[in-house]
Amino acid sequence: MGIFLNHRRGAASVWVFAALCATAITPLGWHAARAQTAAPQSSVVTLPRLDISTNAEEEDATSLSDAPLSASSPDASTQRMSRLSSPDASALFRNQPGFSSYGGGRLANLPVLNGMADDRVATIVDGVRIAPACPNHMNPALSYVDPDSVQTATSIAGLTPVSSGGDSLGGTIDVERADPRFARKGKILVTGRVRGTYRSNGGGYSAAGSVTVANDLFSLRYNASYDQSGNYRGGGGMGVVHSTSYLSYNHAVTAGMHKDNHLLSVTFGQQNVPHEGFANQFMDMTNNRSTFVNGKYNGSFDWGELEARGYWQRITHAMDMLGDKGGHSATTGMPMNNDSRLAGYSLKATIPLAPNHTLKLGSSFDHQGLKDWWPPLMGSMMMGPNTYNNINNGHRDRLGHYAEWEAHWTSRVSTLLGFRNDLVMMNTGDVSPYSWTGMMNMADAMAARAFNARRRGRTDVNFDVTAMTRWQATDSFTLEGGYARKSRAPNLYERYAWGMGSMSSSMIGWFGDGNGYVGNVDLKSEVANTASVTLDWHDPTTANKWGLKVQPYYSYVHNYINVVQLSTFTNGRHKLQFANHNAQTYGINASGHYTLWDTPKFGKGEFTGVLNWVRGQDNVTHSGLYHMMPLNGTIAVHETVGPWKGRVEMNFVKAKDSVDYLRTEPRTPGYALLNLGGSYTWKMVTVDAGIDNIFNQPYYLPLGGLSLGDTRYIGYTRALPGMGRSFNVSLSATF
């Protein structure tokens, strides 16, 4: 593994030494301060609240459906440190087994699980699958939730119960805002939280807050956040990474009602992103506005439990070029607009059939309506005189049903068997180029005529199966494994992006590789056959002092949506068309923890580690699959002493040598990064501080693609650099 060296290591070492000294004296500081803080802490009144548990199985750690061994959730401390480093909700999952991410925008990274990226992962926010309304996927599902409002974040890599989502291959990312809080009977609850954060790299700062007013029946909560940053700097001498600035506002109001065994909540929210740079795209986001309503009901009945959800969302999205790429005006740039409507419902019934047998039945419907058009540019012969209609009133409707049976045959053996059907219906209207007659638009005009002349409606009938078994062989060893058949239908752009011109095709693609992409109406659904096993060694006592999980997996994908090359552009990049190929992925994830010490004097020290390895191959072209993360891992030492928490963490990534040569995916050298972090809580106030990339190591992001925003400044196209050293601090208070 290659590691970059930093010529300014001397200055960085001073900061490292100071931080390590601060960590070392933490126990002394804690014991000295404890006597002074004990009395004030005892006078703090805890506001009354009522916690609503709507599903008994959620507390059952042996449930295969709700808690497979392949599932992982970052703890509260990890979530807090992730929020400190990044405003992106996907950062909550960093250092989780099988997880990685990519993207050129800092608010909108796309998740990857076991080598399956983006749409191949079921990304669920408050029970909703939010489809990107952008040909570059600049606004994926996780970009619509502020990390501060997230209560639970769970990733399931590999074998996924059918109740955890369909129309996906690699696994599930599930993020939930907090349920409403209620007061005890006859009481009034007023509570809230505020936070401010500063990040030195890019000069980023953010603020977030929430306030709740409730009695025992009704609850009202308001959440808001603000995030802003300039361009960040790469490590070492890499300089400014252009097109990496952002600005974002989020607002949400949640109303809840609780009575007996029933909980109803409705959330209304808005998001406004006035601008966000995308370093690995030709375009930037110049506006993204979202308005949504999301309702949730949980109820317990004599026959079992019912969860019902419904949602509606409108997204208006605009792209053009921000200042780093030349800016835009009435006569410059390239305006591109999207208008999307999302709506749907989901129902889930949990029915105990017998003391050791549970049946889950579910139904869901998701509608995506999309209009994607590019207004003409005044005075341009290429981008005018008419509007370019890319997706004209397209729709993608998915109707899904499932049945899932979980059985506990003995106290040590349980099984899960689930079946799911998803019916995906898609169509779109006639399209048009900028011009039907101009020579510069001839390729697009011919493509539009051919596209309009053919039947475009498609219906995909997909079936999923998941079969899993868990065997607790001993008190310290559990074995879980099984098989899953998972299916995914193409998205609207994979099927209906029709432009054949060099410029129009280059505007399509969420891969950050600078290539152009053309859709394929005749694409078939992907079908993945996955086998996986998880071996779990753990402390047999409730102390949970040690644990080790190892998960090897193999997946063979029929009709994997990859690409074929149509032509080569003058800049050496390619025009590619989506096509079905057979492919395979395989790998292994490992994670573990060990308690190093646990004493009243020195608190608790714990070692944690994660290791991920994945490979993917197209069985037709024999090329590596795109966006396969090289061998990577994290080792860390965490310490908790009273109100103090600290961590020392090292991330390492091997050189990326397995690449997709059809897309000219860049090879990247290996690297290692050292991070420090800690927090101190006093009464209702918490201070978090950290240093990311302490030695300011220069490195390239293995899944980052090309840094297209830098080309006009450095004279060549390089891989996307990672962020250099950043000093981060956050102050939060609860009341």
- For 412-469, the DSSP string reads SEEEEEEEEEEEEEEE----B-S-SS-GGGHHHHHHHHHHHHS---EEEEEEEEEEEE
Give the pLDDT score at 334.
95
Distance, in Å, from the CA atom of 571 to the CA atom of 258, rounded to the nearest integer, reads 61
In a domain, 485, yes or no: yes
What number is the average pLDDT over the span 304-321?
Answer: 97
Tokens describing residue 714: 């450095």
C-alpha closest to that of 693 among 732, 665, 657, 653: 653
Let me know: does 523 contact 490? Beta carbons within 8 Å: yes
Residue 35's pLDDT band (cuts 50, 70, 90): very low
Distance, in Å, from the CA atom of 291 to the CA atom of 280, rounded to the nearest integer, reads 27
C-alpha closest to that of 615 among 654, 564, 574: 654
* Whether pLDDT at 720 is above 90: yes
pLDDT in tens, 660-714: 999 999 999 999 999 999 999 999 999 999 999 999 999 999 999 999 999 999 9
What number is the average pLDDT over the span 25-29?
Answer: 38
**In whole numbers, what is the pLDDT of the chain averaged over residues?**
91
Give the pLDDT score at 428.
98
In a domain, 4, yes or no: no
Give the pLDDT score at 22.
38
Let me know: does 182 contact 217? Beta carbons within 8 Å: yes
Q: Report helix, strand or coil for 549.
A: strand
pLDDT in tens, 335-383: 999 999 999 999 999 999 999 999 999 999 999 999 999 999 998 889 9
pLDDT in tens, 409-468: 999 999 999 999 999 999 999 999 999 998 899 999 999 999 999 999 999 999 999 999
What number is the average pLDDT over the span 299-328?
Answer: 97
Task: Please name the residue ranges forming H helices in 615-724.
Answer: 711-714
CA distances from 278 to 196, 198, 236, 282, 417 (A): 25, 22, 22, 8, 43
Please name the residues in contact with 494: beta carbons below 8 A apart, sequence gap of 6 or more: 519, 520, 523, 561, 578
* Whether pLDDT at 170 is above 60: yes
In a domain, 2, yes or no: no
In a domain, 470, yes or no: yes
pLDDT in tens, 209-240: 999 999 999 999 999 999 999 999 999 999 99
Give the pLDDT score at 13.
36
CATH code of residue 267? 2.40.170.20
* Whether pLDDT at 53 is above 90: no
C-alpha closest to that of 181 among 269, 250, 251, 255: 255
CA distances from 554 to 13, 197, 483, 702 (A): 43, 42, 10, 22
C-alpha closest to that of 343 among 317, 372, 365: 365
In a domain, 1, yes or no: no
Distance, in Å, from the CA atom of 579 to the CA atom of 566, rounded to the nearest integer, reads 11
Q: What type of residue sits at position 33? A: A
Place of tokens 């990534």: 653
DSSP state of 162: G
Give the pLDDT score at 108.
79
In a domain, 192, yes or no: yes
Q: Report helix, strand or coil for 81.
A: helix
Give the pLDDT score at 17.
33
Three-state SS annotation for 240-270: ECCCCCEEEEEEEEEEEEEECCEEEEEEEEE
Tokens describing residue 46: 């805890």
pLDDT in tens, 622-658: 999 999 999 999 999 999 999 999 999 999 999 999 9
Please name the residues in contact with 454: beta carbons below 8 A apart, sequence gap of 6 or more: 521
Distance, in Å, from the CA atom of 255 to the CA atom of 263, rounded to the nearest integer, reads 11
Give the pLDDT score at 67.
85
Let me know: does 559 contact 526? Beta carbons within 8 Å: yes
What number is the average pLDDT over the span 104-112?
Answer: 90
Range from 68-72, 136-140, 212-216 carrying the lowest mean pLDDT: 68-72
Give the pLDDT score at 80.
84
Tokens describing residue 311: 């949602």
Residue 482's pLDDT band (cuts 50, 70, 90): very high
Let me know: does 261 contact 50? Beta carbons within 8 Å: no
Range from 67-76, 88-97, 691-700 carrying the lowest mean pLDDT: 67-76
Q: Report helix, strand or coil for 26.
A: helix
Q: Omega before 385 cis (within 30°)?
A: yes
Please name the residues in contact with 704: beta carbons below 8 A apart, sequence gap of 6 or more: 102, 104, 279, 280, 512, 719, 720, 721, 722
Strand partners, 575: 516, 567
Place of tokens 């009695």: 215
Q: Report helix, strand or coil for 355.
A: coil
Give the pLDDT score at 599.
94
In a domain, 681, yes or no: yes
Q: Which domain holds residue 43?
A: 9-734
Pairing of strands 526-538, 574-599: unpaired
Please tell me whether the overall predicted TM-score, pTM, comes out greater than 0.85 for this model: yes
* Whether pLDDT at 7 is above 60: no
C-alpha closest to that of 653 among 668, 638, 637, 636: 668
Pairing of strands 284-301, 262-276: antiparallel
* Whether pLDDT at 324 is above 90: yes
Specify the number of domains making up the chain: 1
Residue 571's pLDDT band (cuts 50, 70, 90): confident
Q: What angle do CA 532, 538, 544 make, to 5 degrees?
A: 135
Q: How many CB atoms lie within 10 A of CB 349?
A: 16
What number is the average pLDDT over the span 147-160?
Answer: 92
More confident position, 484 or 103: 484
In a domain, 3, yes or no: no
Residue 281's pLDDT band (cuts 50, 70, 90): very high
Distance, in Å, from the CA atom of 641 to the CA atom of 541, rounded to the nearest integer, reads 22
Range from 101-110, 267-276, 685-694, 718-727 carrying the lowest mean pLDDT: 101-110
